[in-house]
Structure 1
Amino acid sequence: MRLRRRLAVLGLAASAIWAGGAAAQEPGPPRDPGTAGTWELALDGSFRRCGLMLAAEAGPVGQALRFPAGCRRALPVVNGLSGWRREGGLIQFLDREGQPVLAFAAPEGPGAWTAEATTGERYSLAQAGARPAAPEAPLVTPAALSAPSAPRESWALAPATAAAVTGLYTLDRFIEKDVCRVMLRADGAQVQEGCRDPGLALFDPTAWHYEAGRLVLVARRGHSVELVPVGEGRWRRDPEIGTTFVLRRVEP
């Protein structure tokens, strides 16, 4: 009888150990490495956009979602985001409780994913490099100039083509002048040696494009800054988005 009892106890212990091991090995929430990567989030009907990283590893909720600090001001909706997941054919951006804030539906053909916020704002999400490049033809069209986001005083100051924007520019901040220089070439942007402005050096623009009368600098990490023309080869950062500074064209 004692032997039988011992065997029964050992059998229960083995079962408990096996069950515990199985629980420890049970996989967590499924991950979606196919969707992971660099994407661009944009507010439809505006020039506000930001580069995001949809990471493959787990985050506080869902999978980790990363974005540069500048996105918090350019697109305030990201302030409430803590992760993302792919579910039911949708790419969902999640809040701290794991609830969807934005649910992006796939396009029927080529194009960006789209979502509508509870406020009625519509957003688009495109994989990095998927948005079409700005055309080389003149970009200042009546439709572009009538866009509500373009300041009226800048309409007559906007260059007609992207080629007219290329050149060497210096950065002016308030009373500080010529603190950093950046070269805008047809194939990209580059901060010049001797830059004394930590903000622009950290931003590190490597690309740019010109559309609808606005100059957009694109950082190495994917986020962007928009500038409006103020005449005489000068561009001012859009005051609606962040701290004002001016890029002023200079001779090499």
Structure 2
Amino acid sequence: MQILRAVAFAVAALLAAIGIAHAQDATTLKKEMVGQWELSTTERSKTCVVTMKGDAAAQGFKLELEPACKSALPFTKDIVAWNIKGLDIVRLQDASGESVIDFTEVEAGIFEGLRQGEGVYILQDLAAARSMAKSMDQMIGDWAMVRSNGQPICGLTLTNTEADQDNFQVFLKPKCDAAIAQFNPTQWRLERGQIILMSKSGEVWQFEADDNAQWRRVPDTADPLILLRQ
């Protein structure tokens, strides 16, 4: 009987500790979310500034949406408050406390949320988002694909012309290497620090910036493919 009591006591203590840890996680996340955030489509063609506050509101905490939000992202017209649900869900909610969109953190300071029938939306720190926008603007223009020996094998132009909701148009120049011409990318985007090139068939090539201010295709190979700004 004493053993059973000891086990029960240990289980209760463990559950209490887990509950405290969960409460601390939610409290920490709440503190981290107070401030200005950018709510946007994945490629940032439509954006909205959300200011999350720590003041209590009905069903959650107060927030402010910039006036342009309702035209840029119509679903935001229903958002009146925000809250933390569970351990790691940031909820933008309506007046009844129901979710308009739920976000989970996918990397430090970047949250993703899905609205059925619409697609994925991004919530990220406003300053970081504007820094990324500046980076994306710097991507627009002419590039060359080269091999590790520096030999150019193709030229391409990244544009800021929308191809669809998430991507922009890219154009190959004449006389490209056969492998590049076969891939024939038609769309691109900047996503989580990578240049993403996509073909009509759905094939995807990813490039990451290296320490030499150039972009290497990943995963790396013995004869890497490199993007250089012209």
State TM-score, norm by structure 2. 0.46
More strand by share: 2
Higher helix share: 2
